Copies of this chain bind each other. A is one copy, B any other.
């Protein structure tokens, strides 16, 4: 209504009480006579009052914001997780602030510092390349929830999934369908996930007694484009294969396209397995067999855990598992 926004003091004057009282009503800090409470509430809605969060933050030391470090906001993978966090945070009074690390340890450290200077009350770190040490140091000032690693330290909770086991499971699925020449498109070089998934793939092969032909392992970077390149490479190498296990869905999409362009059918000629179960993987042609990551659920749980920590509790975060979702991109070899 007016030009400057209304302040608590104006509300107090309008209601004929002291600012302290208004504050108490706002925060439920102490009992207040009904008469005054009503007067204040009337004043609040009359003046259309909204407390100034910056002032609240400064005075109370709590900003009611949570810093979320992702790697890439636009990626479908992080998108789902962010939505989970948003969901888990709604109605808690906390607001998430997102920052992109772009998979660069320095950048990440910088972003975290920036978040800290914004007085966030806690931190959610979605994977990332920050060192454990840096996190432990940060945790001395802020509670932290981190995904994608196992980290036991005071004031830190971590969500970790057994990528290796799941990758092994996915590969075994292909083996179970009779495939023996199984290519793998590995993820970005320095991601721990990539190693784990590659290790799972190797494990499945060696456990079954299949000798791994190193030429069947192509290196991608988790992007769709790298999936295309990987398949072209694989095809150019002329080492025969009947199935591909891609380290994530996005590369599987790229692989799918490259195969299509070569006139190779999925699953008739080649079976294809991804990893992540992005929302879109139901809608690819054919729908993609993949390992489901409970990304959204992890986001929700991470948020809830952090809020609990902020509430002074020491929550035991739930365990999550990975699950193979068999759709139509894989079939028995004949």
Binding site for B on A (CB under 8 A): 3, 5, 50-55, 57-58, 63, 72-76, 79-80, 82-83, 86, 95-100, 113-114, 116-119, 140-141, 224, 228, 253-254, 256-257, 260, 279-280, 282-287
Q: How far is the CA of A98 from the CA of B224 in the complex (A)?
A: 27
Q: Which residues of B contact A57 (CB under 8 A)?
A: 54
CB distance from A132 to the nearest CB of B (A): 19
- A-B contact list, 13 entries, CB within 8 Å: A50-B117, A51-B117, A52-B58, A53-B118, A54-B55, A54-B63, A86-B100, A98-B98, A228-B283, A253-B283, A254-B283, A256-B283, A257-B283
User: What 16 additional pairs, Cβ within 8 angstroms, besides A54-B58, A253-B284, A257-B287?
Assistant: A5-B141, A50-B117, A51-B117, A52-B119, A53-B119, A72-B83, A74-B76, A74-B82, A79-B79, A95-B114, A95-B118, A224-B280, A253-B280, A253-B283, A256-B283, A260-B286
Q: How far is the CA of A117 from the CA of B141 in the complex (A)?
A: 26
**CB closest residue in chain B, given A76:** B76
Q: How far is the CA of A54 from the CA of B60 in the complex (A)?
A: 11
Q: Which residues of B contact A75 (CB under 8 A)?
A: 79
Q: How far is the CA of A254 from the CA of B287 in the complex (A)?
A: 11
**8 closest Cβ contacts across the A-B interface?**
A54-B57, A74-B83, A50-B117, A74-B79, A260-B285, A253-B283, A54-B58, A224-B283
CB distance from A226 to the nearest CB of B (A): 12
B74 touches A80 (CB 8 A): yes
Q: Which residues of B contact A284 (CB under 8 A)?
A: 253, 257, 284-285
Q: How far is the CA of A3 from the CA of B72 in the complex (A)?
A: 31
**CB closest residue in chain B, given A256:** B285
Q: A98-B98, A253-B280 are in contact. Are A113 and B73 (CB under 8 A)?
A: no
CB distance from A110 to the nearest CB of B (A): 11
Q: Which residues of B contact A100 (CB under 8 A)?
A: 86
A95 touches B95 (CB 8 A): no
Q: How far is the CA of A287 from the CA of B51 in the complex (A)?
A: 50
Q: How far is the CA of A58 from the CA of B96 in the complex (A)?
A: 20
CB distance from A92 to the nearest CB of B (A): 13
A50 touches B280 (CB 8 A): no
Q: How far is the CA of A118 from the CA of B118 in the complex (A)?
A: 12
Q: Which residues of B contact A96 (CB under 8 A)?
A: 98
Q: Which residues of B contact A5 (CB under 8 A)?
A: 116, 141
Partner of A285, one of B86, B282, B285: B285
Partner of A95, one of B97, B140, B253: B97
Partner of A50, one of B52, B80, B113: B113
Q: How far is the CA of A3 from the CA of B117 in the complex (A)?
A: 15
CB distance from A39 to the nearest CB of B (A): 22
